Amino acid sequence: MSAMDSTRVERVEAEGIARPPTSREIAVDRCFRWATRILAGFSALLVALIVLLIAKQAIPAIRKFGFDFVTSTRWDAGKSQFGILPELFGTILSSAIGVALATVFGVAVAVFLTQQFIPRWLENLLHNVITLLAAIPSVVYGLWGIFVVIPAIRPACNWMHAHLGWIPIFGTPLVSVGMTPAGIVLAIMILPTITAVSRDAIAAVDPLMREAAFGMGATRWETILGVTLPASKRGIYGSIVLGLGRALGETMALAMLIGSTNVISPSVFSPGDTLAALLANKFPEAATPVDLGALMYAALVLLILTLLVNVAGELVLRRDVTRLRREEAVHKPPKNETVA
């Protein structure tokens, strides 16, 4: 039926107001199409180029150090010994802390901003304020972390170490810089990403579903937890993956807060190092080709790590989407009936 509608509209336009496009319009249209194609291709090319150039410079180091580079723990440029296991570990741990915190708060904020808890204008205001967090430069976050976060959390962290120190993750005291302050600052830095994307996802949930839940006597919380959040799962996963991607590559704030030390400790209060911070610290004075190669190798590992996270996230999303589709297919006929 809809197909017939559209042909009718076309016929009306062809007889009336519509006219064939002029050759100028066609030319402009074509130019525009090609311009967008070229630009799109260019950005893909750029990514490929970056990977290739880094890989090319890393090849000597890859040949020399092989996989030992990823599994050894010593970084001593003077003796040409390079290993990034502590940095790899620190990158993953600090990002995990950051993403865990940011997910809890980000999704909570997103729910708060979409479920009519507060007037509309206040929702918009708060949303804009959170988005503004993304505009704060990384180095400012670093300074803020040093002068505000660390003194604020130190007593609590050291209390936990004193009383729960037998649990390995609280095994060391928080001297100043370390994984926890780094993770907390990371969480705040990626909060806007997670909030914005999951807010959009939650807002996109069909209002009919909510109303149906209310209609069945569900309370607001039951609706949020049982209907709205599961329905927007996909977007929320997406936001977490985006946030994780940003957390893994974050450099300046972490270089200031992580402590840049070559240890692997299960304690979340221990200082550590991340790949990005290592690059930032060592790159300016990397003198020999061997040093540079090792740094490029580290950069490549970071790149691959980020890529893996994104691919994994994509796969999770896909699986979820196909399952949702299947469920939808199963539930469709009765749903249509009730609507009718």
Partner 1 sequence: MRRARPTLLIVLALGVSLLISSCNRPSQEITLQGSGATFPAPLYRRWFIEYYAAHPDVRVNYSPIGSGAGIRQFTAGLTTFGASDAGMSQKEIDKLPKEYGGVRLLPMTAGEIALSYNLPLAAPIHLSRSTYVKIFLRAITDWNDPEIAKDNPGVELPTQKITVVTRADSSGTTFAFTTHMAAVAKAMHLEWPPGVDKSVPWRESIAAQGNDGVAALIQLTPGAIGYVEYGYARLAHLRMAALENASHEFILPDETGEGGQRALEGAEIPADLQIRISDPTNSGAYPIVTYTWLLCRKHYDDQREERTIEAILLDCLTDPKQEVARQLGYVKLPPNVVDRLRAELTQTVATR
- Residues binding partner 1 (CB under 8 A): 13, 17-19, 21-22, 25, 28-29, 32, 35, 74-79, 146-147, 150-151, 173, 175-177, 255-256, 259-263, 271, 277, 280-282, 284-287
CB of 141 to partner 1, least distance (A): 15
Q: Which alpha helices (DSSP H) does 17-149 contain, by range? A: 23-65, 68-71, 85-114, 120-132, 138-144
CB of 297 to partner 1, least distance (A): 18
Cα distance between residue 64 and residue 15, in whole Å? 74
CB of 260 to partner 1, least distance (A): 4
The smaller minimum CB distance to partner 1, of residues 7 and 128, is found at 7
Place of tokens 């990371």: 186
The smaller minimum CB distance to partner 1, of residues 39 and 321, is found at 39
Structural element, H or E, at residue 82: strand 81-82
Q: What distance, in Å, lies between the first and last C-alpha atoms of the chain?
A: 17
The smaller minimum CB distance to partner 1, of residues 117 and 147, is found at 147
CB of 84 to partner 1, least distance (A): 13
The smaller minimum CB distance to partner 1, of residues 217 and 284, is found at 284
Cα distance between residue 194 and residue 236, in whole Å? 8
DSSP annotation string for 141-159: HHHHIIIIIHHHHHHHHHH
Cα distance between residue 105 and residue 64, in whole Å? 45
CB of 275 to partner 1, least distance (A): 14
CB of 246 to partner 1, least distance (A): 22
Q: Is 193 exposed, middle or buried (0-12, 13-18, 19+ CB in 10 A)?
A: buried
Q: Which of 168, 190, 161, 197 is nearest to 265 (CA)?
A: 168
Structural element, H or E, at residue 75: strand 75-76
**Cα dihedral angle (153, 158, 161, 162), rounded to 10 degrees?**
-150
Compute how many other C-beta atoms are within 10 angstroms of the C-beta atom of residue 197.
21
The smaller minimum CB distance to partner 1, of residues 243 and 293, is found at 293
CB of 65 to partner 1, least distance (A): 16
The smaller minimum CB distance to partner 1, of residues 30 and 331, is found at 30
The smaller minimum CB distance to partner 1, of residues 57 and 131, is found at 57
Cα distance between residue 224 and residue 278, in whole Å? 42
The smaller minimum CB distance to partner 1, of residues 162 and 304, is found at 162
CB of 290 to partner 1, least distance (A): 13
